[in-house]
Structure 1
Amino acid sequence: MSADDAQAAEAAGAQQSLSQMALGYVPARILCSAAELGVADALENGPRDCASLAAETGTDPGALRRLLRALAGLGVVSQLDTERFALTALGSRLTSAAPDSERAGVMLTTAPELWAAWGDLSAVVRSGEPARDPGTGWTAHEAMLRQPEVAAQLRAGMAQASREFAAGVAAAYDFAQFRTVVDYGGDEGILTAAVLTAAPDLRAVLYDRPEALERVSAVLSEAGVADRCEVAEGDLTTPLPPGADACLLNNLVRDRGDGKAAELLRALRAGLAPKGRLLLVETLMPPVLTPDASAAYGLTDLNNLVFTGGRERTRDEYGALLDAAGFTLGATVRVPVSSGMPDYHVIEGIPAP
Structure 2
Amino acid sequence: MKPPTEGLLVISSDPKDIGAAVRQLLGDALAYLYPAALRAAAGAGIADHLADGPLTAEELARRSGVDSGHLRRLLRFLATRGVFSEQPDGSFALTTAASVLRRDSPAPLRNLVLLFTDEMYWRPAGRLDETVRRGTTAFDTIFGAQIFEHLSKDPAKNELFVDAMADLSVLEHTGIAESYDFPASGTVVDVAGGLGGMLQSVLVRNPGLRGVLVDRSEVLERHRMTDPAVAGRFELAEADFFAKLPSGADIYLLKRILHDKSDEEAVRILQTCRAAMNESARLLVIDIVVPPAGAEQPNPTSDVLMMTVFEGKERTEEELAKLMSAAGLRISRVVATPSAMSITEVVAL
* TM-score between the two structures when normalised by the length of structure 1: 0.88
Deviation at 1:215, TM superposition (A): 3.9
Partners of 1:184 and 1:206 within 8 A in 2: yes
Please tell me the residue identity of whatever aligns with 1:55. Answer: R
Does residue 148 (structure 1) correspond to residue 155 (structure 2)? The answer is yes
RMSD: 2.6
Does residue 335 (structure 1) correspond to residue 337 (structure 2)? The answer is yes
Deviation at 1:140, TM superposition (A): 4.0
- Distance (Å, rounded) in 1 between the aligned partners of 2:74 and 2:89: 14
Q: 1:145 to 1:102 in 2, by over 3 A?
A: farther
Please tell me the residue identity of whatever aligns with 1:89. Answer: T
Deviation at 1:309, TM superposition (A): 0.5
Aligned residue in 2 for 1:67: 74
Does residue 41 (structure 1) correspond to residue 38 (structure 2)? The answer is no
5 Å matches for 1:1-353?
Answer: 14=21, 17-81=24-88, 83-134=90-141, 136-176=143-183, 179-216=186-223, 219-289=224-294, 293-294=296-297, 296-337=298-339, 342=340, 344-352=341-349
Deviation at 1:238, TM superposition (A): 4.9
Runs of 4+ in 1 over 4 A off after TM superposition: 3-11, 13-16
Cα distance per residue 1:87-137 (max 9 Å; x no partner) = 222211122211122111111111012111111111111111112343752
Q: 1:127 to 1:250 in 2, by over 3 A?
A: same
- Distance (Å, rounded) in 1 between the aligned partners of 2:66 and 2:201: 43
Higher relative contact order (CA 8 A, sep 6+): 1
- Distance (Å, rounded) in 2 between the aligned partners of 1:327 and 1:177: 24
Please tell me the residue identity of whatever aligns with 1:74. Answer: R
- Distance (Å, rounded) in 2 between the aligned partners of 1:289 and 1:94: 36
Q: 1:54 to 1:90 in 2, by over 3 A?
A: same
Partners of 1:163 and 1:190 within 8 A in 2: yes
- SS of the equivalent of 1:94 reads coil
Identity across the alignment (%): 35
- Distance (Å, rounded) in 2 between the aligned partners of 1:289 and 1:157: 32
Deviates more, 1:181-190 or 1:83-92: 83-92
* TM-score between the two structures when normalised by the length of structure 2: 0.89
* Count of residues in correspondence between the two structures: 340
- Distance (Å, rounded) in 2 between the aligned partners of 1:277 and 1:207: 17
Partners of 1:182 and 1:204 within 8 A in 2: yes
Q: 1:80 to 1:167 in 2, by over 3 A?
A: closer
Task: Give ranges in structure 1 of 5+ residues lacking alignment.
Answer: none
- Distance (Å, rounded) in 2 between the aligned partners of 1:158 and 1:135: 23
Whose helix fraction is larger, Structure 1's or Structure 2's? 1
Q: 1:347 to 1:137 in 2, by over 3 A?
A: same
- Distance (Å, rounded) in 2 between the aligned partners of 1:8 and 1:220: 54
Task: Give ranges in structure 2 of 5+ residues lacking alignment.
Answer: none
